[in-house]
Amino acid sequence: MDVFIWILDVVGTIAFSISGAMVGIRKKMDLFGVCVLGVVTATGGGMTRDIVLGINPPRMFTNSTDVLIAAVTAILTFIVIHYANKKKQTHVGFREMYSLVLFVMDTLGLAIFTVIGIEVALATRPDAGNFLLVFVGTITGVGGGLLRDMMSESIPYIFQKHIYATACIVGAVICIIFYRKLNISLNISMIVGAIAVLVIRALAAQLRWNLPTIHLDEEGKS
């Protein structure tokens, strides 16, 4: 594996594992539950991607490095937050920082795994169509978070706020345009695509961008 891709993969795994662990802690799960949620968040998107691409068994089962990194990260996150919470349990600033770190880690993992999904798809199927590349990039980005939210009994983040999957789609399209239309190197194209996801997510949070929703009253009238 290219060193650049490996570094991205490790950073994305750590970011998503922290995200999953923090959701588990917020849901009052024990250490094992937090660890499982961290691993699922970090590897779930990649596993889904591999199934779509026909990689059998998925890479997480043939190379346990990502699983081990995710598990250790989740355990360390649990320990750090446990001791931090003891000191600042009622501190409003601590709760705000908690939400900010969760958002940043989730967004970082989303951006990195979106473009890694495209890289894996191209390595597996060099002649893959653009639609497949966008789909695989998006599912790699959002898959882990989707499983995390379902396992923690939350409405999946992808369906409710902050331009989640939409940011992945835009970032994936930009990455493909740079690589296939502008003939920019794949590594540079991935960086540009990941930055696009980060910028869109940051703007969505800051400016409160959300896709339209319909709010029905009890009688079913909008």
Mean pLDDT (the chain) is 89
Q: What's the mean pLDDT in 22-31?
A: 93
Q: What's the mean pLDDT in 56-65?
A: 92
pLDDT confidence tier of residue 216, bands split at 50, 70 and 90: confident
Q: What's the mean pLDDT in 7-21?
A: 95
Rounded CA gap, 26 and 106, in Å? 15
Per residue in 159-173, pLDDT tens?
Answer: 666 678 899 999 999
Q: What's the mean pLDDT in 36-41?
A: 96
Rounded CA gap, 211 and 147, in Å? 21
| pTM for this model (two decimals) | 0.88
Lowest pLDDT segment from 37-51, 103-117, 160-174 = 160-174
Lowest pLDDT segment from 29-43, 97-111, 188-202 = 97-111
Q: What's the mean pLDDT in 114-128?
A: 95
Rounded CA gap, 81 and 98, in Å? 9
Q: What is the pLDDT of residue 61?
A: 92
Taking the CA atoms of 169, 197, 93 and 74 in sequence, report the sign of the dihedral they define: positive
Q: b/e map of 33-47 (b: 16 or more CB within 10 Å)?
A: bbbbbbbbbbbbbbb
pLDDT confidence tier of residue 155, bands split at 50, 70 and 90: confident
Does the pLDDT at position 221 exceed 80? no
In Å, how far are 78, 79, 90, 96, 179 from 93, measured between CA atoms? 19, 19, 9, 5, 43
- Tokens representing 34 are 């937090």
Residue 177 DSSP symbol: I
pLDDT confidence tier of residue 181, bands split at 50, 70 and 90: very high
Residues 6+ apart with CB under 8 A from 192: 174, 175, 178, 184
Residue 157 DSSP symbol: G
Does the pLDDT at position 222 exceed 60? no
Rounded CA gap, 5 and 3, in Å? 5
Q: What is the pLDDT of residue 154?
A: 80
Does the pLDDT at position 90 exceed 60? no
